[in-house]
Amino acid sequence: MSTSEATPRETTEGTVYTVTGGDWDEVAAAAAKADDERIVVNMGPQHPSTHGVLRLILEIDGETVTEARCGIGYLHTGIEKNLEFRTWTQGTTFVTRMDYLTSFYNETAYCLAVEKLLGIEDDIPDRATLVRVLLMELNRLSSHLVCIATGGMELGATTVMIYGFRDREMILDLYELITGLRMNHAYIRPGGLAQDLPPGAIDAVREFIKKMRKNLPEYDKLATGNPIFKGRMQDVGYLDLAGCMALGATGPILRSTGLPHDLRRTQPYCGYETFDFEVPTADSCDAYGRFLIRLEEMRQSLRIVEQCLDRLEPGPVMVGDKKIAWPAQLALGPDGLGNSLDHIKKIMGTSMEALIHHFKLVTEGFRVPPGQAYAAVESPKGELGVHAVSDGGTRPFRVHFRDPSFTNLQAMAAMCEGGQVADVIVAVASIDPVMGGVDR
């Protein structure tokens, strides 16, 4: 090339440069000039890596995120407002849909709050409490599996995704066997459970534990020591103890800083003080530490599930007080699952009081003495708190859910700013937000 500049040539289309090598200075200078523009990228609200309808507003400079903000509210369904127009028992049907991956936690936390308001915490039958714990710990497994599966998929590790959903499927089958539904169960009710475990459930859960014990090491083999996995996750999404406390982050995020804060240990509910399990921690404060904690928590949950099975003894699953206990004695008839014929026979034929109770409970519900209560459980994502207020009526006066996803998602900016765009995905995945819980 003899000339250092391309010669322009006028055509009817405008000026045409023939760039053959020497004139890149001009092109590069033009590109450099454009570089000082800040680029604001909207990631979501519909994006496969944002865990639902989460909108991330990223201000980026090259590949570096200089500012990260969340836009939420796309999945707001007004469940808290809706609860004020249903009876206390109907509430479980709503709250189970909040964080739809941790249904049993929502139901249990809500029921614990209602039971506290009623003052019947000590009357809940042991069997009901054990089944609650059993389902909650199975739920911890299924929630962590989704977290690890989707988190893996976002890194390109589709095998992790397939494995995670394969194992979660087994748990959903158990839910279906026990509650009749794979999601949105409304199985845990104020006072106990909707119905007892079906025949064969205990064997099915034992079978599952066996399979899961075999499958869990696969995640270790596949991911834990994997250099690519580690390279993507280590030192990403860093949030130290001070950051966690200031931002109110709980759950695996808080435990990845080395603080073994777990409500099951510090403020036991549902008899967790009697179970033998460990609270895993990490001290890396990063996404990899949270991944390891989730893996270990799944092993611990299996231990708790096993202990529940060993302790289960026949007995009632609803409080004895007929003025609270929902009259659901379900049985499988020729036309499907419905109120048992024995129960119908009793209320229609022999006991007028039973009929009155049935009628009053189903149409009107029960009254809850005025006051307020706060019940918190350790959900897979952190502290799930329920603030329930009663004015003495048959419907909640106010129910507020302190969802851990909502609070933890605030930490997104602290974890992502200054990092790479690709690390935003990892950091958000390590928070494990579920928008149904964030927006409620």
Tokens of 378: 């350790």
Only segment of 120-128, 170-178, 198-206, 214-222 that touches another protein (CB under 8 A): 120-128
Pair type for strands 14-17 and 39-43 = unpaired
Q: Is 117 in the site for another protein (CB under 8 A)?
A: yes
Cα–Cα distance, 225 to 219 (Å, whole number): 10
Cα–Cα distance, 102 to 437 (Å, whole number): 9
Only segment of 29-37, 229-237, 244-252, 284-292 that touches another protein (CB under 8 A): 244-252
CB of 395 to another protein, least distance (A): 7
Evaluate whether 185 touches 177 at the Cβ level (below 8 Å): no
| Binding track over 324-343 against another protein, x by CB under 8 A | x-------------------
Instruction: Closer to another protein by CB, 128 or 134: give it.
Output: 128
Residue 398, helix vs strand vs coil: strand
CB of 245 to another protein, least distance (A): 5
Instruction: Closer to another protein by CB, 76 or 211: give it.
Output: 76
| Binding track over 387-406 against another protein, x by CB under 8 A | x-x-xxxxx-xx-x-x---x
Amino acid symbol at 35: D
Which of 47, 55, 57, 120 is in the footprint of another protein by CB under 8 A? 120
Closest CA to 192 of 21, 320, 319: 319
Cα–Cα distance, 377 to 119 (Å, whole number): 18
Query: Bridge partners of 339?
Result: 330
| Binding track over 177-216 against another protein, x by CB under 8 A | ----------------------------------------
Residue owning tokens 């073994």 = 260
CB of 391 to another protein, least distance (A): 5
**398-402 sheet: strands from edge to edge:** 371-379, 382-390, 398-402
Instruction: Closer to another protein by CB, 28 or 356: give it.
Output: 356
Q: Is 247 in the site for another protein (CB under 8 A)?
A: yes
Evaluate whether 411 touches 431 at the Cβ level (below 8 Å): yes
Tokens of 32: 């450099």
| Binding track over 358-387 against another protein, x by CB under 8 A | --x---xxxxxxxxxxx-x------x-x-x
CB of 119 to another protein, least distance (A): 3
Cα–Cα distance, 57 to 283 (Å, whole number): 30
Q: Is 323 in the site for another protein (CB under 8 A)?
A: yes
Q: Is 78 in the site for another protein (CB under 8 A)?
A: yes
Closest CA to 381 of 109, 75, 102: 102
Cα–Cα distance, 269 to 188 (Å, whole number): 15
Amino acid symbol at 233: M
Cα–Cα distance, 417 to 414 (Å, whole number): 6
CA angle 152, 278, 244 (to 5 degrees): 60
Instruction: Closer to another protein by CB, 247 or 429: give it.
Output: 247
Residue owning tokens 């009876």 = 87
Closest CA to 142 of 301, 254, 312: 301
Cα–Cα distance, 247 to 284 (Å, whole number): 18
CB of 283 to another protein, least distance (A): 17
Q: Is 267 in the site for another protein (CB under 8 A)?
A: yes
Only segment of 46-54, 126-134, 147-155, 318-326 that touches another protein (CB under 8 A): 318-326
Which of 82, 184, 224, 340 is in the footprint of another protein by CB under 8 A? 82
Instruction: Closer to another protein by CB, 388 or 425: give it.
Output: 388
Which of 297, 407, 432, 433 is in the footprint of another protein by CB under 8 A? 407
Size of the site for another protein (CB under 8 A): 63
| Binding track over 33-72 against another protein, x by CB under 8 A | ---------------------------------------x
Cα–Cα distance, 382 to 403 (Å, whole number): 8
Contact residues toward another protein (CB under 8 A) are 72-73, 76, 78, 80-82, 84-86, 116-123, 245-250, 259, 261, 266-267, 321, 323-324, 360, 364-374, 376, 383, 385, 387, 389, 391-395, 397-398, 400, 402, 406-407, 409-410, 439-440
